[in-house]
C-alpha cells in the first residue's frame, strides 16, 4: 500500500498545481499542446479532436531522457509499457500487448516518417533505432487495423523532425557521455538545410558492460536521412546500417534474484548456464526506404513508399545456436481526396501495403558460444498485405466522424531443407475484414468526447510459427477481437490543465501466449481468449509557459492506468486458467513527472513510475513485487551546448524491468541495475 499512498499524494498535488500556482505569464497560444497537429489516421487535426486514444511523446521528453533509450519517455504515458530485460533487449507493450513477446516488438505496427519498420514476418527490431534518431512520436492505442493493417495492440508513428529552412544552413553536431557499469555513448552528425532540401548524416556508438553477468552490449549505427521537394513532388528517404550486439543473461528464479541479482542464468541439470554458452544476440541490418507524395491539386494527392532491408541474425542460446538471413521488401500506396463545402469537410483515403520476407534459418548445437553440427536448416517465405479505405467527415469544429474498413491476409511457405525429400508446407491466414468507426463531438471549446468501435486482427509472426525450439507450428491461428472505447479530453482553466481520460473494453479471441519446452526453448499456443478492459487517465499542467521571470517553462504531468485483465475460456490440458489475471500485465501504474527550464539555461526533468505487482505465469502463483522507479536529468543548455547529469533508479529499488513470463524452472527475473548515473555533453543542438 505504500506506493499507492505516495502516488496518490503526488497525483493530487499535480491536479491541484494549476489552481494553486500563479503563472508568471499567460500561456502562449502558439505553443499550446492543444494546437499541436496530429497526423494519425492520415489526417492533420488537433490532438483533442482526434477520435482515438493517442499518446504523444514530445521532443522535450525525448531530448531530456535520463537514459540513452526511449524507455523513460514511453513509460511516462498511461497504457504504455516499455521493458528492457538487459541492455539492448527491448519490449514494447500497448495495453498489455506483450503477452506474446518474449523479445522484440510484435502485435504493433511501427513506422518512421511513414516508412514501416515492422518487417514482412511481423517483427520489429526496435533496438536498431537510436534515441537521437527520434524527435517525437504518436502512439495509437488499441486496434487500428482499418488504417495500419494487422495489429491488435496499436501503432507507433515515429517522426525524425527533419525540416526545410528559409536559407541554406550547415550544422555539425555531436555528443559524448559516460556512466555507471561501463556506459559510453558517442554521436556525431551533419545537418544540411535549404528551402527545398534537408539532409541528416549521423553516426552513433553506444556500449555498456551491463549490471548483470553476461549483459554487455554494443551498438554502432550509421544513418542518412533526407527530404526534398520540387513542384508537386515531395520525397523522403531513409538509409541506415546498424551493427548490434548484446549478451542475454537469461532469467533467474526468485531465490537467486534476492540473493544475488547480478548473476546470469545458472546451469540446471544437463543444461549449461548463460555464461558457459556465451548467450547473445548479433544483429546486422541494412535498411533503405523512400517515400513519395504527389500533390495533384488542392484536393487530390498520392502517397507511396518502397522499403527493403537485409538482416543477418545470430543467437547463441542455451540449447542451440541459431543463424538467420532475412530479406525484406515492402511497398504501399494510397490516394487521398479532400473536399470542403462551407462548414462541411470530407476526406477519403484508399490504399494498401504489401510486405514480403524470405528467411534462411539454421540451428546448430551450441558448444560454449561456437556453433556445432547442424540440427535443422529451414527456408521460410512470408507475405502479408492489407487493403483499406477510410472516410472522414468534419462539421465545423463540432463533429468529426471517421469510418474505415480493411482486409488483411498473411501466408507462409515453410520447408525443412535437412529432411530428405521434404516439400513446402503452406499456411495461410484467411482474409479478415476489420472495420473501425469513431466520432468526436465538441461539447464546448476545449471539451471533447469521443467513442470508438473497432476490430483488431493479428496473425502469428514468423518467430511464433517457427520459434527457437526448431519446430514449425502450422496450427497457430490469428488472434482477433472487438474493442469498444469512450473518452473525454481537452482543457480547463484557460488550458492550464489538460486531460485525457479513456475507458475501453477489448475482447480478444485466440490469444497467442508463450510456452517453454522441457529444454527451455520457447514455443507458442493459442490460449482461448482474454478480456482486456481498463481505464487510462492523463493530466498535464503548464503553470509557466514562456515566462518573463526566472522560470521560462514548467510543465507537470500525472497519469494512472488500471488494467484488471483476465483470461477467458483458457484451458491447457486438464488445467483451467479462465478468470486468471493476464500474465505479465500490472493491474495499476501511476506516473508523475515534471519538466522545468530556467531562463539562465538550467533545466531539470524527472520521471516517477509506481508499478503494481505483476503475475509471472498463467497460473498466477508467482508475482513480481510492486516497485517505484525514480529517474531524472539535470542540465545546463545554452548556445547550442548541453551539459547534463542523469540518475536512474534513484530510490535504489530491486526490481525486474522485463520478466520472462511462463519461464521453465520459474526463472522469471531479469534484474535491472540499482542506482546509476550518466554524465555527458552535447553540442550543435537545434
Least Cα distance to 260 among 684, 679, 674 occurs for 674
Domain assignment of residue 227, given as a range: 2-683
Q: Which residues on neighbouring strands pair with residue 292, listed in sequence order?
A: 235, 304
Strands 321-341 and 300-316: antiparallel
pLDDT recorded at residue 98: 72
Kindly state the average pLDDT of the residues 184-197.
Answer: 95
CATH number where 444 lies: 2.40.170.20
Kindly state the average pLDDT of the residues 36-53.
Answer: 86
Strands 300-316 and 183-193: unpaired
Say which residues have a Cβ less than 8 Å from residue 352's Cβ, sequence separation at least 6: 332, 333, 334, 385, 386, 387, 388
CA angle 54, 56, 60 (to 5 degrees): 175
Alpha-carbon distance 219 to 112, whole Å? 19
Beta strand extents in 447-573 (DSSP E only): 447-458, 479-492, 497-509, 512-516, 522-526, 529-545, 551-562, 566-568, 571-572
b/e 460-492 (16+ beta carbons within 10 angstroms → b): bbbbbbbbbbbebbeebebbbbbbebebebbbe
pLDDT recorded at residue 619: 93
Reply yes or no on whether the pLDDT at 109 is more than 60: yes
Kindly state the average pLDDT of the residues 19-44.
Answer: 54
pLDDT digits over 487-503, tens only? 999 998 887 899 999 99
Alpha-carbon distance 171 to 190, whole Å? 6
Total number of domains constituting the chain: 1
Q: Reduced to 3 states, what is the DSSP secondary structure of residue 100?
A: helix
CA angle 269, 314, 526 (to 5 degrees): 70
pLDDT digits over 313-323, tens only? 999 999 899 99
pLDDT digits over 628-644, tens only? 999 999 999 988 899 99
Whole-number Cα distances in Å, 345 to 52, 296, 399, 400: 19, 19, 10, 9
Reply yes or no on whether the pLDDT at 190 is more than 50: yes
Q: How many helices (H) and strands (E) does the chain have?
A: 7, 38
What is the overall mean pLDDT for the chain? 89
Kindly state the average pLDDT of the residues 342-351.
Answer: 95
Residue where the block lists cell 481537452: 490
Q: What is the DSSP string of 31-84?
A: G-GGGPEE-GGG--EEGGGSSS-EEEE-HHHHHT-SSSSSHHHHTTSTTEEEEE
**In terms of pLDDT, which residue wins out, 29 or 485?**
485
Q: Are 51 and 450 in contact (CB under 8 A)?
A: yes
Say which residues have a Cβ less than 8 Å from residue 255's Cβ, sequence separation at least 6: none
Q: Are 168 and 194 in contact (CB under 8 A)?
A: yes
Cell of 189: 552528425
pLDDT recorded at residue 29: 33
Least Cα distance to 605 among 618, 596, 613 occurs for 596
pLDDT recorded at residue 165: 87
pLDDT band at 686 (very low <50, low <70, confident <90, very high): low
Whole-number Cα distances in Å, 185 to 88, 134, 376, 647, 682: 13, 16, 39, 16, 11
Kindly state the average pLDDT of the residues 96-125.
Answer: 85
DSSP 1: -
Lowest-confidence range among 200-214, 452-466, 580-594?
A: 452-466
Kindly state the average pLDDT of the residues 147-156.
Answer: 87
Length of the chain: 686
pLDDT band at 33 (very low <50, low <70, confident <90, very high): low
Amino acid at each position: 500500500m505504500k506506493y499507492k499512498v505516495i502516488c496518490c499524494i503526488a497525483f493530487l498535488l499535480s491536479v491541484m498545481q494549476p489552481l494553486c500556482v500563479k503563472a508568471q505569464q499567460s500561456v502562449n497560444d502558439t505553443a499550446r499542446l492543444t494546437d499541436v497537429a496530429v497526423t494519425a489516421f492520415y489526417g492533420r487535426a488537433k490532438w483533442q479532436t482526434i477520435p482515438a486514444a493517442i499518446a504523444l511523446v514530445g521532443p522535450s521528453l525525448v531530448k531530456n531522457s535520463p537514459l540513452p533509450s526511449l524507455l523513460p519517455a514511453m513509460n511516462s504515458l498511461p497504457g504504455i509499457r516499455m521493458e528492457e530485460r538487459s541492455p539492448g533487449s527491448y519490449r514494447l507493450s500497448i495495453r498489455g500487448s506483450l503477452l506474446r513477446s518474449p523479445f522484440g516488438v510484435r502485435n504493433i505496427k511501427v513506422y518512421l516518417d511513414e516508412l514501416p519498420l515492422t518487417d514482412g514476418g511481423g517483427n520489429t527490431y526496435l533496438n536498431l533505432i537510436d534515441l537521437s534518431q527520434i524527435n517525437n512520436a504518436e502512439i495509437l492505442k488499441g486496434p487500428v487495423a482499418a488504417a495500419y493493417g494487422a495489429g491488435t495492440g496499436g501503432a507507433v508513428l515515429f517522426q525524425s523532425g527533419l525540416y526545410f529552412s528559409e536559407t541554406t544552413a550547415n550544422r555539425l553536431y555531436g555528443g559524448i557521455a559516460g556512466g555507471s557499469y561501463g556506459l559510453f555513448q558517442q554521436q556525431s552528425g551533419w545537418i544540411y538545410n535549404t528551402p527545398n532540401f534537408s539532409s541528416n548524416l549521423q553516426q552513433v556508438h553506444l556500449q555498456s558492460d551491463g549490471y548483470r553477468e553476461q549483459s554487455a552490449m554494443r551498438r554502432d549505427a550509421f544513418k542518412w536521412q533526407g527530404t526534398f521537394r520540387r513542384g508537386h513532388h515531395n520525397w523522403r528517404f531513409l538509409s541506415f546500417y546498424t551493427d548490434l550486439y548484446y549478451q542475454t543473461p537469461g532469467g533467474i528464479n526468485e531465490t537467486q534474484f534476492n540473493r544475488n541479482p547480478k548473476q546470469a542464468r545458472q546451469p540446471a541439470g544437463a543444461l549449461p548456464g548463460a555464461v558457459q554458452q556465451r548467450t547473445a544476440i548479433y544483429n546486422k541490418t541494412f535498411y533503405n526506404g523512400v517515400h513519395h507524395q504527389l500533390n495533384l491539386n488542392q484536393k487530390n494527392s498520392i502517397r507511396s513508399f518502397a522499403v527493403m532491408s537485409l538482416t543477418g541474425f545470430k543467437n547463441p542460446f542455451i540449447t542451440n545456436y541459431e543463424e538467420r538471413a532475412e530479406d525484406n521488401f515492402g511497398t504501399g500506396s494510397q490516394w487521398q481526396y479532400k473536399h470542403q463545402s462551407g462548414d462541411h469537410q470530407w476526406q477519403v483515403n484508399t490504399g494498401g501495403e504489401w510486405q514480403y520476407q524470405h528467411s534462411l534459418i539454421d540451428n546448430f548445437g551450441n558448444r560454449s558460444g561456437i556453433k556445432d553440427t547442424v540440427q535443422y536448416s529451414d527456408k521460410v517465405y512470408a507475405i502479408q498485405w492489407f487493403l483499406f479505405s477510410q472516410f472522414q467527415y468534419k462539421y465545423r469544429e463540432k463533429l468529426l466522424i471517421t469510418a474505415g474498413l480493411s482486409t488483411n491476409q498473411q501466408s507462409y511457405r515453410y520447408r525443412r531443407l535437412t529432411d530428405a525429400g521434404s516439400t513446402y508446407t503452406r499456411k495461410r491466414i484467411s482474409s479478415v475484414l476489420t472495420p473501425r468507426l469513431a466520432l468526436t463531438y465538441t461539447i464546448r471549446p476545449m471539451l471533447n468526447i469521443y467513442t470508438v468501435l473497432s476490430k483488431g486482427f493479428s496473425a502469428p509472426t514468423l518467430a511464433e510459427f517457427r520459434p527457437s525450439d526448431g519446430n514449425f507450428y502450422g496450427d497457430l491461428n490469428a488472434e482477433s477481437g472487438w474493442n469498444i472505447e469512450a473518452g473525454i479530453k481537452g482543457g480547463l482553466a484557460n488550458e492550464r490543465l489538460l486531460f485525457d481520460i479513456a475507458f475501453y473494453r477489448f475482447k480478444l479471441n485466440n490469444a497467442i501466449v508463450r510456452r517453454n519446452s522441457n529444454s527451455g526453448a520457447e514455443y507458442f499456443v493459442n490460449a482461448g481468449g482474454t478480456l482486456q478492459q481498463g481505464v487510462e487517465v492523463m493530466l498535464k499542467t503548464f503553470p509557466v509557459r514562456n515566462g518573463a521571470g526566472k522560470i521560462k517553462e514548467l510543465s507537470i504531468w500525472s497519469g494512472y492506468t488500471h488494467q484488471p485483465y483476465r483470461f477467458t475460456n483458457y484451458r491447457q490440458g486438464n488445467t483451467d486458467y479462465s478468470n486468471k489475471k493476464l500474465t505479465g500485465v500490472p493491474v495499476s501504474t501511476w506516473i508523475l513527472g515534471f519538466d522545468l527550464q530556467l531562463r539562465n539555461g538550467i533545466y531539470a526533468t524527472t520521471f516517477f513510475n509506481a508499478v503494481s505487482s505483476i503475475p509471472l505465469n498463467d497460473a498466477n502463483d508467482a508475482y513480481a513485487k510492486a516497485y517505484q522507479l525514480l529517474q531524472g536529468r539535470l542540465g545546463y543548455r545554452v548556445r547550442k551546448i548541453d551539459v547534463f547529469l542523469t540518475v536512474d533508479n534513484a530510490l535504489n529499488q530491486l526490481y525486474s524491468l522485463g520478466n520472462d513470463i511462463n519461464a521453465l524452472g520459474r526463472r522469471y527475473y531479469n534484474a535491472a541495475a540499482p542506482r546509476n548515473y550518466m554524465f555527458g555533453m552535447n553540442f550543435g543542438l537545434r
